[in-house]
Structure 1
Amino acid sequence: MVSDRPEGPGQGGGGDGTAWSGREGARAFAAVEAATDWLLGYPFVFRALADRIGPGEVLVDYGCGPGKVADEAARRLGARVLGVDTSPEMLALARGSATAVAEFHLVEGGRVTGLPDGCADAVMCNHVLASLPTQEAVLGVFTEIRRLLRPGAPFVLLTTDPACGGTEYASLRIGDPGEVYGPGDELTVRLRRTDGSWQEVRNHAWPVGTLPALLERAGFRDVARRRPTVDEALTVADPELAAGRAWSAERAGPPLVVTTATAA
């Protein structure tokens, strides 16, 4: 199953431009399976958005990559989805495959080109933070997302928990066993490809407890977190996917966190 999940390169590449940069990096990114994300991540992002956004309203996917998640959101929610990314190569892939997405915009110098202040009724941001090496970079992304949102609009953020380091999940492993990662620390993530092989990429750790204060500094309120479980996913995720594996590691320690906030 292909996904917009690079474990961090939603910005169109690793924070230092090495993980998913250029045409070949974009193609490699598009070949990530992301089964764990489609079980415990994206369906819960869509559910959080469904409670706050109606058909025809504007949803921005910040860090859309090759567009699979944006495309699925447009089809499920009926929203007018705008995909944005720092990588022209990622956007080229998305334009060719994400047919339900209304528009695509490039992020240049930390700002989304062509989108005015307060244009969005909601924003989602999936696995972008792991590409960012510093607190200032994370704050910059949150600040730009707040610029795009109208007051009172929702923001839904999907991240992995670096505290789950070393566990072998169905489609990923975050960091190394026994390691403790602080904010911005480098770690290696293994991702399963659609052909069954594995790829390693360098990412940065952002413990989930560090995010609420940064969101509040960027102009958000009502920050809340939830960690979806396999039992919950059985009623939300694709039934064929949910029934296709035992999900033993995901049951023992769910690795994904959905954070929601409201633009103040």
Structure 2
Amino acid sequence: MSDRERAAWSGPEGARAFASVVASTDWLLGYPFVFRALARRIDSGHVLVDYGCGPGVVAGHAARLLGARVLGVDTSPEMLELARAAGTEVAAYHLVENGRAVGLADGCADAVMCSHVLASLPTEEAVLSVFAEVRRLLRPGGLFVLLATDPACAGTEYASLRIGEPGEVYGPGDRVTVRLLLTDGTWQEMPNHAWLPAVLPPLLARAGFGDVAQHHPTVDEALLIADPDLARGRPWTAERAAPPLVVTTATAH
């Protein structure tokens, strides 16, 4: 395995690598459905937190699309540095230290979105810690929208990712290698952790959430809401056969 493949999403080099991820499968079957769920509940008069915002691309898109005041939070100072330098419409960025978003008060958000953060969490306790912080940030009745990969799709070659190895079955928190396509046409392997969709509702309930719903977006659905050039630009054969992403929504109690 090359040095690039061994690198984690940490430090300046890891942050730059993450910013180079193509994520076409996510932009087809993930983010448009996150934005749709948010648009049903928030608008320009609301505050949206992107928990695990990385370089700020998705947060900036959400700000433009929804008109909400968007705040990005992340555990990586290097990611936040890239996000600030990008000059998107995100209102402000905050560092997560010791599990807490610095400078953000309890109940400050009307909604929180969180994309692919679970993959970096090795234990149930770590997942619960993130859910608890998201609950702290949300006002009662606020919406939590969570995007994650489904480890049950292990080994399938998607347009911009592969989750795990063919024939492997992964349990909660198991180590799983994910391959991601970069803008230069190369692939980067990253050590991740598997969290099956069925594991999440009881953990959300323990963290103070209810009304949990889960959805595997399909290509046919994406043709109606994703970017038309992206959606119709390729056959998406693997994505049609086994949609790899799951959108989970929950309400803060």
Give the shorter-chain TM-score range: over 0.9
From 77, 96, 106, the equivalent of 2:85 is: 96
Q: Secondary structure at the match of 2:141?
A: coil
Residues in 1 aligned to 2:212 and 2:124: alpha-carbon distance in whole angstroms: 18
Supply the distance in 2 between the matched residues of 1:88 and 1:246 (Cα, whole angstroms).
38
Q: Secondary structure at the match of 2:140?
A: coil
Deviation string, structure 1 residues 32-57 (Cα, Å, up to 9, x no partner)? 00000000000000000000012131
The amino acid of 2:43's aligned partner reads G
The letter for the 2-side match of 1:171 is S
- Alpha-carbon separation, structure 1, partners of 2:162 and 2:210: 32
Residue by residue, what CA displacement relative to the aligned partner does 1:202-260 show, whole Å, maximum 9, x if unpaired?
00000110000000000000000011000000011000111111100000000000000
- Asked if 1:262 is matched to 2:251, the reply is yes
Q: Which residue of 1 aligns with 2:26?
A: 37
- Work out whether 1:46 is the aligned partner of 2:32: no
Unaligned runs of 5+ in 2: 1-5
The DSSP-based 3-state class of the residue aligned with 1:121 is strand
Q: Deviations over 1:165-199 (max 9, x none)?
A: 00000000000000000000001000000111101
Could you say which residue in structure 2 is the equivalent of 1:11? none
Deviations 1:79-102 (A, max 9, x none): 000000000000000001142000
TM (norm. structure 2) is: 0.97
How many residues align? The count is 248
Equivalence for 2:3: none
1:158 matched residue in structure 2: 147
Give 1:197's aligned residue. Answer: 186
Any stretches of 5+ residues in structure 1 without a counterpart?
1-16
Letter in 2 for 1:190: R
Between the aligned partners of 2:169 and 2:87, the Cα distance in structure 1 is 38
- Structure 1 segments (4+ residues) deviating >3 Å: none
- Give percent identity, aligned residues only: 76
Partners in 2 of 1:56 and 1:98 — Cα distance? 22
Once the two structures are TM-superposed, the CA of residue 26 in structure 1 deviates from its matched residue by 0.2
**Equivalent of 2:220, from 211, 231, 235?**
231
| Superposition map of 1:86-235 within 5 A | 86-235=75-224
SS across alignment from 1:147: helix
Residue identity in the other structure for 1:56: G
Query: Over aligned residue pairs, what C-alpha RMSD do you find?
Result: 0.9
Shift in Å at residue 163 of structure 1? 0.3
Q: Secondary structure at 1:212's aligned position in 2?
A: helix
**Structure 2 equivalent of residue 247 of structure 1:** 236
Residue 40 and residue 159 in structure 1: after superposition, are their counterparts in 2 closer, same or farther (change >3 A)?
same
Contact 1:68 1:98 in 2 (8 A): no
* TM-score, normalising length: structure 1: 0.93
